[in-house]
Amino acid sequence: MKRTLPTAPLLVTHWDPDLYPARPLPLLQELIIHILAHGEVWLKEVDLFLNPRIRAFLSKRSNRDVFASLVETGRIKILVPDGTTILERDPQDEPLLAAAMARDGKKPLKSEPWVLTEETKRFCKQLDSILGLTGRKVRNPWARPICRPRVTAPSEKNEFAAKLYGVLTQHDKRWQGRDPFKGISPAMVDQFAEFSQNHDKALALLAAADVTPNATNGFYRSLAYQCADEFRAEGTIAVQAMKNLVQSVYTYCELKREQAAGTYGGDRLAEMPPDKPAENANLGLIRIEVVPLPRSIAIPVDANIGQVISNVLEMCDQSLHVFWNLAGSSPSPEQDFQVAWNHVAEVFAREVQLPQKPAKGGIFRPAGLIIGGATLVIDIGEIAGLSWRPGFVVAGVALGAIATFGPEAVDLFRRAQLELRRQEIDDAVSAAAAIRCSKIA
């Protein structure tokens, strides 16, 4: 199978529980759009079990089945701890449980230790049956591992501290006017610049406040978060803004290390500000991000979404390849993206297998997979987040009403109904994504 070749695979960076948007897009919609746009999507195993909303969503069997179908495309990879982390389980076989057991009792970012509950342990085992090698071999003897160890951060240099220091000491402070970073005071800028150069000063700040540091081996993200909390006198907004900057720099370093593109959903996560003088920055480079938008795409419940996506990517390889090759240098990237994405939408609508005959009672049931709104609806009986469209329901009722006029009339109506639904899917997918452009410093 051919693979689309964007500039880099996509690492989903905003699923971190501390960064997850208050009103996120449906999880599976995000995955589908990102896979279609990038060809390969990487997820961090910790986000799957540390994020309570993601955990609750994937705990439902129906949602988990669709997730499994996406995993079966081979276009999702799970990042697991690097080789320096001591694990009690094999991360290729039990990626979530192995990582969760290693996190048990630790403090990822918060002051309180995270505890691995029996409920979370069951969840990890459920997803490991999909992601782990044993479960995949049961479903497909030729399945390859999809778990990949993270790239180990260099031990000889603290790139995070160096980048943060570069940002904080720039003469151009216009980045402080960006919404995620508004409120950082000059005093905080000076203090965190010092911490970046000498982490002993950060440890001294925490010691004076009788706070036990999460780490003592350098000024990294966890220690920076703790220090930000000690600036409460500057106000809640200032504390949060500094954490946003810390997270921005951390994400930049992580993506550079993994050689991946990232996502910037929500209000907190933003691209890292320049860390070098303007004359040395790559001001001519443009970063292109595909942004999923809330749209409703009706798909029958029996559709194999994973196979559909695999077919679409194989047939749209050339158009996507052209877009990503032009991205960053084209004078009209939005137009280039729309041309490629319209092709994806057209093929997607054509590949979806729509029902050829009415359901019991002579009425098409419109509650298949609804991508968009508040959720991705999979169960026929689950209507939360489903927007009932009168035309859809009336058409179904009409099909039952004309059934007595003979098979030719019914077949004609069915074909018209299917074409209408395919066009609706085409239009919805076309409108389900856009791009956001930003300068790379």
Domain residue spans of the chain = 10-149, 159-287
Joined together, the tokens standing for residue 118 give 């029996």
pLDDT of residue 167: 96
Backbone phi and psi for residue 370, each to the nearest 5 degrees, phi listed first: -110, 110
pLDDT of residue 365: 33
Please name the amino acid found at residue 71: V
Q: How far is CA 30 from the centre of its chain?
A: 6
pLDDT of residue 140: 75
At 359-414, the pLDDT tens digits run 443 333 333 333 333 223 322 222 222 222 333 333 333 333 333 444 555 555 56
Contacts of 416 (CB under 8 A, 6+ apart): none
Give one DSSP letter per residue of 176-223, joined into a string: GGSGGGTT--HHHHHHHHHHHH-HHHHHHHHHHTT---S--SSS-HHH
pLDDT of residue 414: 60
pLDDT of residue 364: 30
For residue 157, give the 3-state DSSP assignment: coil
Residue 67, number of CB atoms within 10 A of its CB: 23
Query: CA-to-CA distance for 16 and 76, rounded, in angstroms?
Result: 17
Query: CA-to-CA distance for 335 and 191, rounded, in angstroms?
Result: 45
Helix then strand then coil, in percent of the chain rounded to 5, is 50, 10, 40
**Contact between residue 80 and residue 313 where contact means Cβ atoms under 8 Å apart:** no
Q: Which residues of the chain have pLDDT under 70?
A: 1-7, 108-111, 278-286, 296-303, 328, 355-415, 438-441
Query: CA-to-CA distance for 137 and 95, rounded, in angstroms?
Result: 15
Q: Identify the helix (H) or strand (E) that includes residue 427.
A: helix 407-430
pLDDT of residue 381: 26
First-residue to last-residue Cα distance in the chain: 36
∠ at Cα 226 (221, 232), nearest 5°?
Answer: 130
Backbone phi and psi for residue 149, each to the nearest 5 degrees, phi listed first: -65, 145
**Contact between residue 431 and residue 341 where contact means Cβ atoms under 8 Å apart:** no
pLDDT of residue 108: 61
